[in-house]
């Protein structure tokens, strides 16, 4: 009798383990984890703040390593700094934000922010003088990004 119960229990256990192991082993399974807009904003803001602090620390080191006038770079130095140093940090922000799961119904707004950041990079690379010394005719290439991120609650992410 005891052996029969044990055999039935093992059979049931084996069956449950087999069922539990089915489905979900493929690499294309979709995560059902959802976050709220508030959670996403909190994570995104913290991420951008952390990257901003890294950028500030490394900015000083970069200026020193390249013989720039620390704290008071000229026009050419600013253009170089923005092209080889600042733009990669903006790209890191984009990659990090894109890696966060978007809250349901917020994907289009977040994608609009990310696209504006990519456009800011494109314009800044084509016209580095516009980021280094913006004018009324040629404002900061990240103006739209700054507006969108401020409206969404992640203003720190809009800073180049």
Neighbours of 87 (CB within 10 A): 19
13 contacts: CB under 8 Å, gap ≥ 6: none
More confident residue, 135 or 10: 135
pLDDT exceeds 70 at position 24: no
pLDDT exceeds 80 at position 81: yes
pLDDT of residue 61: 85
| Residue 121, in any domain of the structure | yes
| Residue 24, in any domain of the structure | no
| Residue 27, in any domain of the structure | no
pLDDT of residue 46: 96
Give the separation between CA 146 and CA 158, rounded to whole angstroms: 4
- The DSSP symbol for 158 reads G
Tens digit of each residue's pLDDT (9 = 90 or more) over 41-67: 999 999 999 999 999 888 888 878 877
DSSP annotation string for 66-128: TT--TT---HHHHHHHIIIIIHHHHHHHHHHHHHSPPPTT-HHHHHHHHHHHHHHHHHHHH-H
Query: Domain limits at 107?
Result: 36-158
pLDDT of residue 69: 66
| Residue 30, in any domain of the structure | no
Whole-structure pTM value: 0.73
Return the percentage of the chain with pLDDT > 70, whole number: 78
| Residue 13, in any domain of the structure | no
E-strand ranges in 12-72 read none
| Residue 16, in any domain of the structure | no
| Residue 28, in any domain of the structure | no
| Residue 120, in any domain of the structure | yes
Domain total in the chain: 1
């Amino acid at each position: 009798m005891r052996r029969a119960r044990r055999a039935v229990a093992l059979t049931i256990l084996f069956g449950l383990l087999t069922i539990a192991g089915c489905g979900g082993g493929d690499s294309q399974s979709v995560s059902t984890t959802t976050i709220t807009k508030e959670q996403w904003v909190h994570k995104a803001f913290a991420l951008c703040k952390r990257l901003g602090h890294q950028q500030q620390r490394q900015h000083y080191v970069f200026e020193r390593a390249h013989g720039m006038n620390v704290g008071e770079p000229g026009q050419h130095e600013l253009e170089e700094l923005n092209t080889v140093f600042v733009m990669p940090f903006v790209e890191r922000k984009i990659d990090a934000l894109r890696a966060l799961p978007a809250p349901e119904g917020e994907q289009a707004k977040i994608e609009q922010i990310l696209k504006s950041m990519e456009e800011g990079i494109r314009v800044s690379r084509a016209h580095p003088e516009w980021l280094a010394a913006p004018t009324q005719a040629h404002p900061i290439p990240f103006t739209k990004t700054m507006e969108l991120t401020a409206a969404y609650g992640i203003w720190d992410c809009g800073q180049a």
